Amino acid sequence: MSRDDPESVRFSGPKLFCDLTQSWSDVGGGVRTYLLHKRRHILESTPHSHLMIIPGNRDEVVEDGRSITVTIASPHVPGSPHYRFMLRNRAVRGALEQFRPDLIECQDAYNLPWAAIGHRKRYPDTALVAAYMTDFPTVYVERPASKIVGKTIAGGLSRVCYGYAGSLYRRFDSVFALSENGGATKLRRLGIADTEVVPLGVELGEFGSNLRDKRLRQRIGVEDGRPLLIYVGRLDGEKKPDVVVEAFRKLPEALGARLALLGEGPLRAEIEALGDNRIVMPGYVKGRAELAQWLASSDIYVSAMADETFGVSIIEAQASGLPVVGVAAGAMIDRVTNEVGRLGPVGDAGAMAGNILDVWDAKDAEMAHRARAQALQFSWDHSMETLFGRVYPAAFAKRVSLPVQTPASAALAA
């Protein structure tokens, strides 16, 4: 094998892999789930070690064999009590200096990647990997800004942010997205030609239509032969549960439908104020068994989130045998075809209501089977195989192929 072949430098001995992220929540979330599965894979299936640098309520270092967790004291994100801003790059650089990981993966595009880049200038052998977990130029810039300054200016701001993303990610050795339409295609357009796709995994064994519970349906007033719609996720502006609620309220009352919103967030009070007793909001469901029971006891999964980069909740719903009604944007394009659901225009509650009726009227049992079959392709084993078999070896290979820096040149570069 050549020196530039990833397999030739796959892992020459045990490595310390580091995950550096803002997107950590103590109660759940896609990034947290991904990182915990990665840690388990590293500890159970490899000789390597794992370092996580995450935000928390105090500075703390916990070392337990081959796992290390560094918590950096960070303030809460306004409106998102389970997330924090990790702004202290000096503390992050100190942790990186202390443990000197062989590879650093960043799941954010804000200040933390620059801490990793600064560390790599001092230690040029450090491989850097970027994971495109959130389509931030659209989610956090264009869509909210369009309501304030109009679509034209918001679009310009979004293009500036995509330009920044391209400039940032070209500094990394490997970059991956979670789906084609949820990020990979955009990154390639930004000039990051080698962008990989690493889908997240789903614990599919925990979900299934066999968990359907008639008593749950009766408890929330769902009559026999009537549809129960379900949404799972944060109740905030990014996830757009308000559009789901608006679509639901456009359905004919004679349909006898009910809507379950599983989650918490700032829009909860606004939805409660509607006084619609057909909408049930049990809050954040902590146990996976309870979540699986809610999904299996429902009939259609509904989401208006336009910028999913992967769509864990969609896969879990499909694993439960549910058709999905969503929007034609982001990762939903990769996850939902007419064989397993319907997609409509972003933000169009009327079109969503029509698609809900279309799916319900079809009453296609085969749709449930096809949804389940589609979900079965996603496993954490496959995710880890792609990550450790392609993405990380490619990053190390790039480091090996670069000219060797002397301590003096590294100091000048820093």
Q: How many C-beta atoms lie closer than 10 Å to residue 409's C-beta?
A: 12
Q: Which residues, including other chains, have CB under 8 Å from residue 105's CB and lie 6 or more apart?
A: 17, 18, 19, 20, 128, 129, 130, 131
Tokens of 229: 């719609």
**Same CATH topology for 6-201+379-413 and 204-375?**
yes
What's 6-201+379-413's CATH class? Answer: alpha beta
CA atoms of 228 and 301, how far apart (whole Å): 9
Share above pLDDT 70 across residues of the chain, in percent, rounded to a whole number: 94
Q: What is the pLDDT of residue 312?
A: 85
pLDDT tens string 104-125: 999 999 999 999 999 999 999 9
What is the C-alpha end-to-end distance of the chain, expressed in Å? Answer: 33
pLDDT in tens, 167-192: 999 999 999 999 998 899 999 999 99
Tell me the pLDDT band of 310, cut-offs 50, 70 and 90.
confident
pLDDT at 177: 95
Residue 133 near residue 178 (C-beta atoms within 8 A): yes
pLDDT digits (tens, 9 = 90+) for 205-234: 889 999 999 999 999 999 999 999 999 998
The answer, yes or no, to whether residue 7 has pLDDT greater than 90, is no
Q: What is the mean pLDDT of residues 72-87?
A: 88
Of 189, 194, 200, the residue nearest 172 (C-alpha): 194
pLDDT at 146: 87
Only one residue has tokens 């699986």, namely: 292
Per-residue pLDDT, 413: 41
Would you state the structure tokens that stand for residue 352, as one six-digit string? 């969503």
Domains of the chain, residue spans? 6-201+379-413, 204-375
Q: What is the mean pLDDT of residues 395-411?
A: 63
311 pLDDT tier (thresholds 50, 70, 90): confident
Q: Is the pLDDT of residue 157 over 90?
A: yes
Residue range 369-379, pLDDT digits in tens: 899 888 888 88
Which stretches within 84-213 are classed as H helix? 89-99, 112-122, 136, 143-149, 151-169, 185-189
The residue that leads in pLDDT, 165 or 284, is 165
The answer to which of 24-38, 57-71, 270-284, 319-333 has the lowest mean pLDDT is 24-38
Kind of pairing between the strands at 49-56 and 67-73: parallel
| Residue 410 pLDDT greater than 60, yes or no | no
Higher pLDDT, 404 or 237: 237
CA dihedral angle for residue 5, residue 116, residue 50, residue 177, rounded to 10 degrees:
-60
- Rounded to the nearest 5°, which phi and psi values hold at 391? -65, -50
Rounded to two decimals, the pTM is 0.80
Distance CA(301)–CA(391), nearest Å, equals 33
**Separation CA 305–CA 109 (nearest Å):** 20
**pLDDT beyond 90 at 202:** no
Give tens-digit pLDDT for 352-392.
999 999 999 987 778 888 998 888 888 899 999 999 999 99
Nearest in space to 106 (alpha carbons), one of 87, 131, 125, 88: 131
Query: Residues near 239 by Cβ (< 8 Å), separated by ≥ 6?
Result: 233, 263, 265, 303, 304, 305
CATH dotted code for 204-375: 3.40.50.2000
% of the chain beyond a pLDDT of 90: 70
